[in-house]
Structure 1
Amino acid sequence: MELSFILLPSIILLSFLYSASLFFKRDALLKPTKSTVLKGYPIIGNLPLFIKNGRRTLDWVAELIPTSPTGTVTVVPFVFTANPSNVEHLARTNFNNYPKADDLLAALHDFFGRGILNANGEDWRFQRKAASFEFNTKSLRAFVLDKVRHETVHGLIPLLKRAGRSGEVLDLQDVLERFAFDNICSLVFGEDPKCLSGESEEGEKFYHAFHEASELSVQRAMQPFSLIWKLGKWLDVGSEKRLRKSLEIVRGFVERYVTSRREQSRGGGDFLSRFAADGAHSDEFIRDILISFVLAGRDTTPTALTWFFWVLSSKPEVVEKIREEIKSIRSRHKNHDSEVLTLDELREMGYLHAAVSESLRLYPSVPLLARESKGEDELPDGTHVGKGWTVMYSPYAMGRAEGIWGKDCGEFRPERWMEDGVFQPTSPFRYTVFHAGPRMCLGKDMAYIQMKAVVASILEGFELEVVEKRGKYQLSMTMRMEGGLPVRVKERSI
């Protein structure tokens, strides 16, 4: 899953201030449209709206969308849309006109480098083509499930059993993030940092450095003026000094993995082996690619699972249906002893697939995506887009749009995905959780395999009780749950 949604209040303010001098000119360029246009005040334009709603961007966008008959609202120099036709236009039809913004790429460059999450143009095309080939191989899917199975059986399940016996309250979000980090590092490097078990000091150091580098990079991107973080970097003070030190640790770990693999010249199923095999690319470029993969696997899947288990805590009937499906599939395949289902069995779990999809519809890991228009354009619903404007579509708002999902759009109802007992997917331009077009998430199938395997293992073996009220989101690289998800665990007798 790409992580280009980082468009928080101060970035909005920065873009507004950059465009303020052109406000009247651009306002005059607005053509008649059926979509809603919020016209600003003289001189200050829409600044009061951005200040008022800066800390609640997601909810603000979700409130704006229903006010427009076309699902598009213009707040110069921004266009917010939940119109599937518009999404298809910017994500596929006119893809080349809507790259990631240069300012954002610059702010995240020290962490991501030229990796796929922070690239446009040829760098992006090369990585996308190479990754697309690898992600579509049967060997990778088998490798992914093998790693998930190992981490689940030898890490996650023993930890949950210990917590159940001791009565300890676990932060499930932290557990899932550590599990995901171990798993993605195994996939990417062929090495397990053992963060879930806490058995490796080096692994723990890598985990915390990676987390800090991620958080500080987001903070940098939130600065209203790039000069602020650039000056801090030049002076090597404050958060920029901390970011430099964290990045030294992260790069050191990744570079050691790359160098070791080059020297050993041994193959393997991990991403490092696949990308470094031909030796055609520099160690630095390989490092940037791998860091992007680690970040994507580390953040998005545990975020999705945290919200899923929180939703299930108030939906016992859904939990029971998932358990019945697992039991039925095991019986059909005569698989009663394995702690993790096979790939074929996981694929047959249509209701679990529907339940996960429904949770992601309401709580997408990446809730807002932004693109900068290189030239003037007109969206399919007639909305005018000026050069340099930012066009955003929000999976969060679209998942709550009555025009897309019906009057029960606010309800968690997995059955909306099922027809005659079979899961029915929908257009990626309506269901934008995994994005759409050329930048559609390559790891979608891998993410479903991981999530379904983890959910099945936990629900089969344990009861989870959420012990504190939760439900508020916190925006970072992904839409994490504020305060974590404290749960009490109890083993089930099967």
Structure 2
Amino acid sequence: MMMILLLCFIFFIAILFIKKQTTGKKSNKWPSPPRLPLIGNLHQLGKHPHRSMYHLSQRYGDLMLLHFGTVPILIASSADAARDVLKTHDRVFASRPHSKIYHKLLYGSRNMASAPYGEYWRQMKSVSVLHLLSNKMVRSFRDVRQEELSLLMEKIRESGSSPMNLSKLMSTLTNDVICRVALGRKYGAGTDFKEMIDRLMRQLGTFTVGSFVPSLAWIDWICGLDAQLDKTANDFDELLEKIVQDHEDGDGDKADFADVLLAVQRENSAGFEINRLSIKAILLDAFVGGTDTSSTLLEWEMTELLRNPEYMKRLQEEVHTVCKGRTSVSEDDIQDMSYLRAVIKETLRLHPPVPLMVPHESTEDDILRGHHVPAGTQVMINLWAVGREVATWGPDANEFKPERHLDSPADFRGQDFELIPFGAGRRMCPGISFAVVLNEVVLANLMHGFDWGSTEDHETEVAESIGAVIRRMSPLYVTASPTT
């Protein structure tokens, strides 16, 4: 009896709380769905927050306020809202919020992606861009890309007509390229490394109770989340420590990114001190930003082309026309493939690998759309919603149609806010050139070398995974036969 009375009392308090939110003056408040005591709107996020937020935005607007526990967070769900945050008010919203997840997994946010806006972040970005991500450095890695691509094509040929796990092949390819460029050799021969990457990316997309309801932080400990985060952090630190030590014991010929970072540390050539933790954090950045995201994009591109064979046929015709008489596609050939770029843009629109951008945080008080925004306010950009905005893309916004990009000047390099899978403004992903050139040459060669088939039911929507990077829930199995 007492339990029933207690539940009734809690229900009564919740009703009063919601009623209070939905009455009174609202003219100077952000549109916001009613929330529950303590947990706010967390119960409305579900397994796929980008989808849940999209549906909420259809009712509450393209810039709405949600409460994750006790933390208020603005959600931008349109190109205009993204432009307001990432361009008009870019300087104010250029920082990152503190997160237990980032603190535990990313060396106390010493990496470039999650570091607060300031001098340290600028220094880490300058080192990474200069020695790994600049256009000059990306071109210098051409032989690595070609060698790993040749190995991939050979594996596909050896499979014959048997079904193969293309998701695994794409993941191995991107991992091997990153390892060779950043670390000088491959570290993916065993299964442990891939499992670690998968675990890291899944945990980076976790919503922790303690981050949003500090008084309930003990739940993370009870549920084992804290222990899981500590294990992942320790596993990566042991690996990265071994990698750094191996490079310190090597010949120091500056053959890869790790060697360069150690040389910068020894010579103090950057003009500021880089300690060992920062080196490991920057190396970890390369895996977080360059492995899962790149393989996921290739996975979704092949999924959509298999679901839409007429578009695959048109892409194959373009590739064969440009590369007539040749056995493979070079990076120079890509310049003449407009339909290839349209397919990539359309996939990025519908399947941005990271549909919810890393949250931004304001560094000072500001006025946004006539509303006061206090310093420390978080903002999340829902790229999944931006890519499905009917006002921009039309009534068929949910359909895969590469042709929509053939006559469109919109690009994904941060200037056209209807298509910003790599972000925009000061915190835009600096690895865009690195990612795009690999994606282009791999997809073109897959289309050039083989005809593809799948046993999946193409009439059903493909289920999504859970985590920071949204892949397919199940691996993509395909068959390949050499083109004649």
Superposed displacement of residue 59, structure 1: 1.9
User: Given the two structures, how large is their TM-score scaled by the length of structure 2?
Assistant: 0.81
Q: Which residue number corresponds to residue 205 of structure 1?
A: 192
**AA at the equivalent of 2:334:** L
Which has more helix, going by share of residues? 1
Q: C-alpha separation between the residues in 1 aligned to 2:170 and 2:25?
A: 49
CA offsets 1:46-87 (integer angstroms, 9 cap, x no match): 94x54244334222222233446x733334633222343432
Change (3 A) 1:316 1:122: same
Question: Matches of 2:236 and 2:337 in 1, distance apart?
Answer: 37
TM score, norm. by length of structure 1: 0.79
Structure having greater relative contact order (Cα 8 Å, sep ≥ 6): 1
1:429: how far off? 2.1
Q: CA separation in 2, counterparts of 1:29 and 1:373? A: 26
CA contact (8 A) 2:133 2:434 kept: no
Which of 182, 186, 190 is residue 180 of structure 2 equivalent to?
186
Mapping 1:88-99, distance limit 5 Å: 88-99=83-94
Flag the 1:74–1:475 CA change in 2: closer, same or farther, 3 A.
same
1:9 aligns to what? none
Assess if the C-alpha contact under 8 Å between 2:205 and 2:466 holds in 1.
no
Give the partner amino acid of 1:479.
I
Percent identical residues: 21
Say whether 1:61 aligns with 2:53: yes
Q: Which amino acid aligns with 2:148?
A: E
**In the alignment, does 2:224 pair up with 1:260?**
no
Describe the superposition over 1:216-248 as per-residue Cα deviations: whole angstroms up to 9, x where unpaired: 454474656567778977x9x945445444433
Q: Does 1:472 align with 2:475?
A: no
1:215-226 superposed matches below 5 A? 215-219=202-206, 221=208, 225=213
Q: Distance in 2 between matches of 1:465 and 1:398?
A: 31
Amino acid paired to 1:372: E
Match of 2:113 among 90, 97, 117: 117
Structure 1 CA distance, aligned partners of 2:158 and 2:337? Answer: 28
Distance 1:409 1:293, change over 3 A: same
Alpha-carbon shift at residue 423 of structure 1 (Å): 6.8
Distance 1:50 1:227 in 2: 15
1:95-494, aligned counterparts within 5 Å? 95-99=90-94, 101-104=96-99, 106-113=100-107, 114-120=110-116, 121-134=118-131, 137-154=134-151, 156-165=152-161, 167=162, 169-193=163-187, 195=188, 200-201=189-190, 204-219=191-206, 221=208, 225=213, 238-268=224-254, 270-279=256-265, 280=268, 281-331=274-324, 336-337=326-327, 339=328, 341-369=329-357, 370-380=359-369, 382-419=370-407, 425=411, 427-469=415-457, 471-487=462-478, 489-494=479-484
* Counterpart contact for 1:210–1:250, Cα < 8 Å: no
Structure 2, unaligned runs of 5 or more: 1-16, 269-273
Aligned counterpart in structure 1 of residue 74 of structure 2, from 75, 79, 91: 79
**How has the CA–CA distance of structure 1 residues 91 and 50 changed in structure 2, closer, same or farther, with 3 Å as cutoff?**
same
Letter in structure 1 aligned against 2:481: E
Superposed CA RMSD in Å reads 3.4
Contact 2:50 2:385 in 1 (8 A): yes
Counterparts in 2 of 1:231 and 1:260: CA distance versus 1, 3 Å: farther
Aligned to 1:10: none
Q: Which amino acid aligns with 1:131?
A: S
- The number of aligned residues is 447
Structure 1, unaligned stretches of length 5 or more? 1-20
| Cα distance in 2 for residues equivalent to 1:319 and 1:274 | 41
3-state SS of paired residue (2:456): coil
Against the structure 1 CA distance between its residues 262 and 319, is the aligned structure 2 distance closer, same or farther, given a 3 Å change threshold? same
Q: Tell me the CA shift for residue 32 of structure 1.
A: 4.5
In structure 2, the CA distance between the partners of 1:312 and 1:267, relative to structure 1 (3 Å rule), is: same
> Is the partner of 2:159 in helix, strand or coil?
helix
